[in-house]
Structure 1
Amino acid sequence: MTESATHDEAHGGALGERLNWLRAAVLGANDGIVSTAGLVVGVAGATTERSTLLAAGLAGLLAGSMSMATGEFVSVSTQRDSEKAALAMERQELREQPEAELQELTGLLMDRGLSRRVAREAAIQLTERDALRAHASVELGINPDALTNPWHAAWASFLAFTAGALLPLLAIVLPPQTVRLPVTVASVLAALVVTGWTSARLGAAKPARAVLRNVAGGALAMGITYAAGTLLRTVGA
């Protein structure tokens, strides 16, 4: 394995990781938009009080962002623990049965298309340079120096959800009462077009279908919650 190939692989892995983080941020913002929009539009169906709308929107923003952050922290912490356990097991196997691990690495490189001779030579060189790193990368798909960080994931989810949730919250409380609802619906649907298009492009999918699904889902959520709020206001009257 040449230094150039290793350099390209590192850049490719870093790019893939950045794209995954960006995709997660877009989806987190999308969740914030849809859930908060559904909440404030539903409350708007039941009342026109700005203070009530603000309180409901803020509560939904904080609850949603904290829920996203907590869920991401727990999920990524579990993943990190699994990665550390796998690395510990690999370290023990390298210490107790180095020849078997060398044979295993050779076989893995052969599975990637190398001939037996080249795979054996590459396995020997990789093992001499850093055996654990070689097995972590080829066998486990783990970079020992870049384990997933639950705090980074939690903060990213919190900020992404909050950024998305702020749009419907501000749209429902800032405009005058007469245009409050149409401004909110229009701004939310426009934002969902952007997040749908962006997530599709990041996933190398066709944007039109993703945008349509995103907008339809958001419109349905707002329609259902608004109808529920209107029904509650009617019953209460």
Structure 2
Amino acid sequence: MTDTTPGGPPVGPHEEPHGDSLGTRLNWLRAAVLGANDGIVSTAGLVVGVAGATDARSTLLTAGLAGLLAGSMSMAAGEYVSVSTQRDSEKAALELERRELHEQPQAELEELTGLLAERGLSEEVAREAARQLTQRDALRAHARVELGIDPDSLTNPWHAAGASFLAFTAGALLPLLAIVLPPEGLRLLVTVLSVLAALALTAWWSARLGAAAVTPALVRNVGGGAVAMGVTYGAGALLGAVGV
């Protein structure tokens, strides 16, 4: 049975982790969809641009692979740096909170009481809730209520980097295969149709994850991808015509 504080959120050992876990899974899934979308658009723009200048399969394959590897490594490195910075900041905030709890326990109890009262609890209930939360685990209580951090769920930068690498690679494989596998006369058509269909799918899925309207997401995603491919193809065709 869950232990709850009247008028406040559940504080028992079973409810919060499930909520945190669900939110974490949704964030990872949304990041994976967006990473795949980036892989689709950037690689499609690259190979379609090269296709505007040449029909040589080996050149298209080389360009596509280079774009896939460069993009996936860049995404992974960027995500690793970003999450590492966030994790370091969270650990520093937790260490400061741990020191304050040791040096000023009464002041920290008053602070937690005030924070709970700001969330709508009466002064009496807020004080009792703060006392019970402090007795159970003072650092975790302050981390969640004051800092908005779950000490047990700090993001692993290696997991984030790996997820970004795999998501981008999965998305980039579609335009790469679409441009090199079909016969010469169908490569561009197959690639454009495949990419637009994939962008429509990622737009629909990201809209569903965010509980947003699907139509605007489709227009933005598919329209942006079409423009990107059109611009790069035009540039490639122009460079190919002048022999660059």
Q: Would the TM-score normalized by the shorter structure come out above 0.5?
A: yes
What is the match of residue 29 of structure 1? 36
- What amino acid does structure 2 have at the position aligned with 1:212? V
TM-score, normalised relative to structure 1? 0.97
Q: Residue 145 of structure 2 is aligned with which of 138, 156, 160?
A: 138
Q: Does 1:76 align with 2:74?
A: no
Q: For 1:30-179, what aligned pairs fall within 5 Å after superposition?
A: 30-179=37-186
Unaligned runs of 5+ in 2: 5-9
SS in 1 for 2:211: coil
Q: Does 1:219 align with 2:226?
A: yes
- What amino acid does structure 2 have at the position aligned with 1:211? L
Bigger Cα displacement from structure 2, 182-191 vs 197-206: 197-206
In the alignment, the residues of structure 2 paired with residue 3 and residue 102 of structure 1 have an alpha-carbon distance, to the nearest angstrom, of: 20
CA offset digits 1:72-125 (Å, max 9, x no partner): 000000000000000000001000000000000001111111111111111111
CA offset digits 1:137-167 (Å, max 9, x no partner): 1111111111111000000000000000000
In the alignment, the residues of structure 2 paired with residue 10 and residue 139 of structure 1 have an alpha-carbon distance, to the nearest angstrom, of: 18
Aligned-pair Cα RMSD in Å? 1.0
SS in 2 for 1:236: coil
What is the match of residue 191 of structure 1? 198
SS in 2 for 1:3: coil
- What amino acid does structure 1 have at the position aligned with 2:212? A
In the alignment, the residues of structure 1 paired with residue 150 and residue 215 of structure 2 have an alpha-carbon distance, to the nearest angstrom, of: 36
In the alignment, the residues of structure 1 paired with residue 48 and residue 3 of structure 2 have an alpha-carbon distance, to the nearest angstrom, of: 57
TM-score, normalised relative to structure 2? 0.95
Q: CA deviation at 1:17?
A: 1.3
Q: CA deviation at 1:230?
A: 0.5
In the alignment, the residues of structure 1 paired with residue 179 and residue 66 of structure 2 have an alpha-carbon distance, to the nearest angstrom, of: 14
Q: CA deviation at 1:3?
A: 2.6
Q: CA deviation at 1:203?
A: 1.1
User: Which protein is richer in helix relative to its size?
Assistant: 1
Q: How many residues align?
A: 236
Moved over 3 A (4+): none
Q: CA deviation at 1:8?
A: 2.7
What is the match of residue 208 of structure 1? 215
SS in 1 for 2:242: helix
Unaligned runs of 5+ in 1: none
- What amino acid does structure 2 have at the position aligned with 1:138? V
CA offset digits 1:47-96 (Å, max 9, x no partner): 00001000000000000000000000000000000000000000010000
In the alignment, the residues of structure 1 paired with residue 20 and residue 150 of structure 2 have an alpha-carbon distance, to the nearest angstrom, of: 10
In the alignment, the residues of structure 2 paired with residue 129 and residue 205 of structure 1 have an alpha-carbon distance, to the nearest angstrom, of: 39
CA offset digits 1:160-206 (Å, max 9, x no partner): 00000000000000000011100000000000000011111111110
In the alignment, the residues of structure 1 paired with residue 3 and residue 79 of structure 2 have an alpha-carbon distance, to the nearest angstrom, of: 36
What is the match of residue 7 of structure 2? none
